[in-house]
């Protein structure tokens, strides 16, 4: 029986590898995505660095730290010990590769007084995927701007919701660039808080303003997988006009098996909406705090305030998901 070693790759995870098995083959069996083409060590797509351990590459033994062992071709390398390796472009199970591409700007259309929808198109001939709820980076004038992708992965088009009010000069500059240019550089996907396969429990969304964008993508994904559990949406804004796609939740009611939407306004002059902060409306409806998965969309202060309120109500912290927790962590 061949000995089994443990391979650690890019700090993203580990997988077992038999002594008579190439590291690429073992990684693929474990769900890791190694860049490969020829599988015989010629194209060097799988080349990487051995930072710990020893491998057999064809007729040579390579050791971490040796000058000769700096670069290893993992499609023809067999482990001789536990190893730690670094390989560019490797993806962990469930992770999607990141791409930097130029997208065509198809259309920009106002949705209300200060939110516009931009449609971008990915280049043909390159398979690019993202999970519902992930975001991208617009690369403009040497700066990177994160925007949630507002549609689930179903083709080459990317939908963005951009709030560009008078209080947001950066977004106004972004809009000016998108209107003036025919293409834009984009890096995607990013983010680890998303929906791919259907969760086995209810899903609650709590969002404010254009925090609705990732929620839209995740709801579309739930529709695509014929989600059968309850879905609850709580969307907060200041005025009814700030709810820039008001008919979408109505449409979802007729598609999802168990869907309810609540809109909450800080402007209390509209009794046909819930009044006050959006998470207060969610807490008022919450009877089983340990049951749902919560996905939040909004600014860092809003997301952390909702997180604290949910935890105080008895919601397990691990059931609350928002990319803010990753790109804007608290000290």
pLDDT of residue 257: 96
Average pLDDT over residues 112-134: 94
Mark out the alpha helices in 161-201 (DSSP H runs): 169-180
Helix H or strand E encompassing 282: helix 278-285
> 67 falls in which pLDDT band (50, 70, 90)?
low
Question: Is the predicted pLDDT of residue 69 greater than 60, yes or no?
Answer: no
Architecture of domain 4-86: Roll (3.10)
Mean pLDDT of all residues in 253-263: 96
How would CATH label the architecture of 99-190? Beta Barrel (2.40)
- Asked whether the predicted pLDDT for residue 188 surpasses 60, the reply is yes
Record: fold of 203-327 = Rossmann fold (3.40.50)
pLDDT at 70 over 70: no
Handedness of CA 251, 254, 257, 261 (dihedral sign): positive
For 239-257, the pLDDT digits (tens) are: 999 999 999 999 999 999 9
Identify the pLDDT of residue 39: 85
* pTM of the shown model: 0.80
pLDDT given for residue 147 in this prediction: 95
Q: How many alpha carbons fall within 13 Å on the CB side of residue 137?
A: 15
Q: b/e map of 212-231 (b: 16 or more CB within 10 Å)?
A: bbbbbbbbbbbbeeebebbb
In this structure, of 3-7, 139-143, 273-277, 302-306, the range with the lowest mean pLDDT score is 273-277
Q: CA-CA distance, 28 to 157, in Å (whole number)?
A: 29
Identify the pLDDT of residue 68. 58
What are the boundaries of each domain within the chain? 4-86, 99-190, 203-327
Mean of all residue pLDDT scores within the chain: 93
Q: Answer for the pair 152, 220: CB distance below 8 angstroms, yes or no.
A: yes
Residue 315 host element (H or E): none
pLDDT of residue 298: 92
Contact call for residues 4 and 19 (beta carbons, < 8 A) = yes
Mean pLDDT of all residues in 13-30: 95
Q: Do domains 4-86 and 99-190 have the same CATH topology?
A: no
Residue 140 forms beta bridges with which residues?
143
253 Cβ contact partners less than 8 Å away, ≥ 6 residues apart:
259, 260, 261
Is 184 a residue whose pLDDT tops 70? yes
| pLDDT grade for 127, boundaries at 50, 70 and 90 | confident
Tell me if residue 78 falls in helix, strand or coil.
strand
Average pLDDT for 273-302: 94
Beta bridge partners of 60: 57
Using CB atoms within 10 Å of the CB of residue 86, give its burial: 0 to 12 exposed, 13 to 18 middle, 19+ buried: middle
- Beta-ladder partners of 294: 204, 320
């Amino acid at each position: 029986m061949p000995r089994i070693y443990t391979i650690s790759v890019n700090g993203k995870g580990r997988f077992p590898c038999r002594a008579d098995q190439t590291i690429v083959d073992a990684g693929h069996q474990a769900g890791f995505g190694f860049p490969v083409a020829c599988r015989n060590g010629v194209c060097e797509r799988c080349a990487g660095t051995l930072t710990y351990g020893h491998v057999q590459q064809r007729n040579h033994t390579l050791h971490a730290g040796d000058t000769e062992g700096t670069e290893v071709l993992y499609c023809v390398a067999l482990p001789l010990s536990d190893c730690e390796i670094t390989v560019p472009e490797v993806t962990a199970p469930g992770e999607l590769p990141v791409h930097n591409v130029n997208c065509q700007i198809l259309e920009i259309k106002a949705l209300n007084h200060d939110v516009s929808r931009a449609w971008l198109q990915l280049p043909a001939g390159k398979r690019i995927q993202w999970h519902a709820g992930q975001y991208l980076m617009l690369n403009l004038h040497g700066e990177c701007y994160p925007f949630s992708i507002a549609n689930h992965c179903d083709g080459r088009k990317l939908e963005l919701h951009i709030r560009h009010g008078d209080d947001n000069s950066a977004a106004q500059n972004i809009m000016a660039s998108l209107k003036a240019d025919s293409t834009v550089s984009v890096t995607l996907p990013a983010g680890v808080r998303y929906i791919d396969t259907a969760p086995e429990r209810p899903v609650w969304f709590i969002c404010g303003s254009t925090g609705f964008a990732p929620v839209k993508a995740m709801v579309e994904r739930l529709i695509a997988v014929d989600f059968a559990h309850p879905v609850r949406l709580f969307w907060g804004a200041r005025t009814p006009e700030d709810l820039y796609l008001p008919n979408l939740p109505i449409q979802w009611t007729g598609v999802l098996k168990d869907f309810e939407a609540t809109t909450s306004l800080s402007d209390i002059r509209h009794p046909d909406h819930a009044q006050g902060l959006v998470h207060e409306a969610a807490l008022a409806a919450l009877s089983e705090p340990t049951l749902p998965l919560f996905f939040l969309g909004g600014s860092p202060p809003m997301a952390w305030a909702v997180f604290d309120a949910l935890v105080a109500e008895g919601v397990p912290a691990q059931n609350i998901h928002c990319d803010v927790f990753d790109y804007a962590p608290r000290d």
